[in-house]
Amino acid sequence: MRASYDQIAGQSVERLAALSDGVFAVAMTLLVLDLHAPAVGGVSSERELWHALASLHPQFVMYLMSFLTLGIFWVGQQTQLNCLARSDRHLTWIHLIFLFAVGILPFSTRVLAEFPGYRVALVAYWGNLALLGGVLYASWGRATRAALLKGDIPEDVVEAICRRIEVAQGLYAAGALLCVFGTEWSIAFIALVQLWYALAPRLRRAQ
């Protein structure tokens, strides 16, 4: 009986993609709720408003960085899902765990934004990145093992997706390790990696 349910449950890649787009869209937009407009009472001149807005730059940079992070993982997930002919219940649950990790990113970002000098905050943030990457890696393993890919996906694409995750996660881990010198090194390094992944195709094109 259960086997029968498992065979029919969670087969729609489209529904999985739609739920994922929804979770990413909410997570991307919720992040901005942490940008609070300056209080009216504390501002009485253009210069003070400018300073009040400028003093938001740590939250703003953090929002931008998390938006980049969500963008990178959204591109990574949709690249995988586009290669799938169908899903199964196992793969669906792997992606639900992925979405759980997406959902807590606003929280771990907020912790890092409030405690940028603390290693615990940095390791929590990195743990979130590692969870996102690890689950995406497991998803791709499942998809290839269970023959869920479309028939026309060449072997080197399968490997490129694996290697991409391995390299990115290696860089994130290296960035996290830099916190033995200081969390500012880690944050700067991880931010550079994110910028690289977002801008890289453009730079290569421009060559």
136 binds a second copy (CB under 8 A): no
CA distance 34 to 36: 6
What's the angle, vertex CA 121, arms to CA 25 and CA 55, rounded to 5?
Answer: 70
Q: Between residues 29 and 174, which has the closer beta carbon with respect to a second copy?
A: 29
Binding segment toward a second copy, per CB under 8 A, in 16-24, 128-136, 170-178, 185-193: 16-24
Question: In a 3-state reduction of DSSP, which class is residue 56?
Answer: coil
Q: Are the beta carbons of 161 and 79 closer than 8 angstroms?
A: yes
Query: Which residues inside 23-42 make contact with a second copy, applying CB under 8 A?
Result: 23-33, 35, 37-38, 40
CB of 74 to a second copy, least distance (A): 7
- The DSSP output letter for 167 is H
Encoding tokens for residue 202? 């453009």
Backbone torsion region of residue 182, taken as left when φ is above 0, otherwise alpha when ψ lies between -120 and 50, otherwise beta: left
Encoding tokens for residue 26? 């909410």
CB of 175 to a second copy, least distance (A): 18
Q: Are the beta carbons of 178 and 185 closer than 8 angstroms?
A: yes
CB of 173 to a second copy, least distance (A): 19
Query: Which residues inside 60-119 make contact with a second copy, applying CB under 8 A?
Result: 63-64, 67, 71, 74-76, 78-79, 81-83, 88-90, 92-93, 96, 99-100, 103-104, 106-107, 110-111, 114-115, 118-119
CA distance 72 to 66: 10
Binding segment toward a second copy, per CB under 8 A, in 46-54, 129-137, 169-177, 186-194: 46-54
Q: What percent of the chain is helix, strand and coil (3-state, nearest 5)?
A: 80, 0, 15
10 binds a second copy (CB under 8 A): yes
Q: How many residues bind a second copy (CB under 8 A)?
A: 84
Fill in the amino acid letter for 128: N
Calculate Rg over the CA atoms of the chain.
20
Query: Which residues inside 185-204 make contact with a second copy, applying CB under 8 A?
Result: 198-202, 204
144 binds a second copy (CB under 8 A): no
CB of 25 to a second copy, least distance (A): 3
Q: Between residues 106 and 175, which has the closer beta carbon with respect to a second copy?
A: 106
Q: Which of 61, 120, 177, 192 binds a second copy (CB under 8 A)?
A: 120
